[in-house]
Amino acid sequence: ALSEAPQLALASCADRRWVWIPAIAVMLVTLIPYLWGASLAGARPALGAYSWFTFNTTDHCVYLSWMRQAADGHFFQHNLFTTEPPSGHQFNLLFLALGLLSRITGLPTNIVYQIARMLLGIAFLRSVWWLLELLVEDRRARKTAFWVLSFSAGLGWIPGLWEMPIVRGPVDTWQPEAVTFLSLYLFPLFLCSMLLMVGVIGWLVVAEQTRSCRPAVYAGICGLLLGNIHTYDVIT
């Protein structure tokens, strides 16, 4: 057992270095539709400008407006895409940070948004590997779980399920947040939320294993940030 310990430690370190490569590769795959869209920009001027969004543009517009308000120096954010009068007391730490980054760098908000998606996606996939290390002992099982999670897509690809008499069929046919790959492909908000959710679970596991309060505090901080950035995910 003692002779095996150094080998296991070396294997674990090698796996931690390995995981960065597939994480980056997965996020590069998500870029393909965006780059294809950019290559078509201007082909049909009557359709307007290319927004760098490929799905659910209305949600992205809300997030970009919050970033724009933060870039203009506002702490509180107004939802400009609703008929309800805003209270003016909302603030979202993620979009405050992204808006401030846009202000400092001078980059357009949609470019900062896409850069954040790429970086948060890589960070999320790395955090998933950390959680798998805590919960799954077998190396092959960990790698299999990582690849399945990276490209998971639910059952929405089965046409017969689309007409089921429930809420528009399986959740993966209408909610990108239900599918890991679609979250990686579309929304920095979802990625930040899932990263924090992994943090809550992972640090609680560490706290239980080590009988230490510090990891529990880290889990609480992740939960606190999650409550501000994507509130309903706290229930999840």
pLDDT tens, residue by residue, 101-114: 999 999 999 999 99
Half-sphere exposure of 12 (CA within 13 A, CB side): 13
At position 220, the amino acid (one-letter code) is: G
d(CA 54, CA 41): 13
The reported pTM is 0.87
Mean pLDDT to the nearest integer, 127-138 = 94
Asked whether the predicted pLDDT for residue 5 surpasses 50, the reply is no
d(CA 165, CA 177): 21
Percent residues over pLDDT 90 in the chain: 59
At position 225, the amino acid (one-letter code) is: L
d(CA 27, CA 8): 29
Q: Give the model confidence (pLDDT) of 46-65 as tens digits.
A: 777 788 888 888 889 999 99
Asked whether the predicted pLDDT for residue 121 surpasses 90, the reply is yes
Using DSSP, state whether 51 is helix, strand or coil. coil
- Cα angle 120, 124, 127 (rounded to 5 degrees) comes to 140
Place of tokens 């002992």: 137
